[in-house]
Structure 1
Amino acid sequence: MFVVLLAAAGFLSAFTVVEYTAVAPTWQVDKGHSSVAFSVRHFFASVIGTFDEFDGTVTFDPEDLEGSSIDFSIKVASVNTKNERRDNHLQSADFFNAEEWPEMTFKSSNITKSGDQYLAKGEMTIRDVTKEVEIPIQFLGQMEHPRRAGSYIGGFATEFTIDRNEYGVGTGNYAATATIGGEVKVTINLEVNRSDS
């Protein structure tokens, strides 16, 4: 009898050390319903453009921020300001140097809550420069897909500014600094999808 009780105690204690850990769900960017836009001053007016090729993965759960992360990349050669000559110049060594550094990236190190939004801290790399930045993120909500059982749709948005000079974009021997503003406003809207099946 003693042996049976001892075995039962060992069996129960084995279960007490096992903890259930919730895993933040992984969302894939729906590129057809998302956008990456920017604006920068040229003399007095602002030029507005987009990057049309991008991709990313968002692992996010508002109840599990420690397990949440963002990994996002943008193809520099996809820059689109509706002016082919200007777009080619932006891809050149005077600006992004798309041939040598074809992607801009952001990888978060941690995500925290701040009021009604979230802050994603991490490394942003443009050209050969990597800087630690903090990006405000709005979680717009989630819902079950109305046409696909077990699938969900979510939304995220962010708006922030960067100083292009800090990343070596349009500086050096090119005199763009006299006509082009240093501050670039970036606006990103993401529709994301995930499936539990």
Structure 2
Amino acid sequence: MNTWKVDKSASTVGFSVPHMMVSTVTGTFEEFSGELQGNIADLTKTKISFQVIVASIQTKNRDRDLHLCSVDFFDAETFPEMTFSSRAIYNDTDGRYQMSGDLTVKHTTKRAIFCITPQEVTVFGATYFVEGEIKRKDFGLMWNRAIEAGGVMVGEVINIKMSVVICKGEK
């Protein structure tokens, strides 16, 4: 079975979440790794795993990043890593795929679904655009505050968008 590794220098792991009912906070995780085992041209015959280092979060606001790593949110000291392991990948429309698997954040593992859109696939590797969304409270990310004018500080749904480049790994 072929093993392909995520090229961290060419890939991005991003997210966005509504903030204060009027804006959106965007960010990235700078430290991550991943592996695809199988046929990069037919993802229905692959197994994908991905790991993200929580403390590598970047939102262009140091105080917010520290708060996100605290026990109020990710508790990065106790749970330093988020993981994903695919269970099934199906053909979707227009050459895209639907991938379901187990996402673990903090102490909670839940099923998550991502859409994968191949951007480029060659004999040397591939580039995929991956997107999905999760409900943060499903994973124990509970902190929030009411806003005086109505609403809350942090939205419920986190949008995830990744550009993933893979290259041949060791067998």
The answer for the alignment partner of 2:138 in structure 1 is: 166
Q: Give the structure-1-normalised TM-score.
A: 0.77
Question: What whole-Å deviation, never above 9, does each CA across 1:148-181 have from its counterpart, x for those lacking one?
Answer: xxxx12111111111101111133xx53782110
The answer for the alignment partner of 1:148 in structure 2 is: none
The answer for the alignment partner of 2:98 in structure 1 is: 119
Q: Pick one of 97, 113, 135 that aligns with 2:114.
A: 135
The answer for the alignment partner of 1:87 in structure 2 is: 65
Q: Secondary structure of the equivalent of 1:31?
A: coil
Q: Secondary structure of the equivalent of 1:161?
A: strand
The answer for the alignment partner of 2:33 in structure 1 is: 55
Q: 1:65 to 1:86 in 2, by over 3 A?
A: same
Alignment of 1:1-197 (within 5 A): 23=1, 25-43=2-20, 44-61=22-39, 62-63=41-42, 65-66=44-45, 68-115=46-93, 116-144=95-123, 152-171=124-143, 175=145, 178-194=152-168
Shift of residue 64, structure 1, vs aligned partner: 7.0
Counting matched residue pairs gives: 164
Q: Secondary structure of the equivalent of 1:88?
A: helix
Q: Give the structure-2-normalised TM-score.
A: 0.88
Unaligned 5+ residue runs, structure 2? none
User: What letter is aligned with 1:69?
Assistant: K
User: What letter is aligned with 1:139?
Assistant: P
Hey, what's the Cα distance between the residues in 2 that align with 1:143 and 1:136? 20
Q: 1:141 to 1:182 in 2, by over 3 A?
A: same
When the two chains are superposed, the root-mean-square deviation of aligned CA atoms in Å is 2.0
User: What letter is aligned with 2:112?
Assistant: V
Q: Secondary structure of the equivalent of 2:71?
A: coil
The answer for the alignment partner of 1:15 in structure 2 is: none
Q: Secondary structure of the equivalent of 1:77?
A: helix
Hey, what's the Cα distance between the residues in 2 that align with 1:127 and 1:74? 12
Q: 1:159 to 1:85 in 2, by over 3 A?
A: same
Hey, what's the Cα distance between the residues in 1 that align with 2:62 and 2:126? 34
- The answer to whether the Cα contact below 8 Å between 2:3 and 2:170 also exists between their aligned partners in 1 is no
**Bigger radius of gyration among the two:** 1
Moved more, 110-119 or 99-108: 110-119
User: What letter is aligned with 1:31?
Assistant: K
Hey, what's the Cα distance between the residues in 1 that align with 2:162 and 2:43? 23
Looking at secondary structure, tell me which structure has more helix per residue: 1
Hey, what's the Cα distance between the residues in 1 that align with 2:112 and 2:57? 22
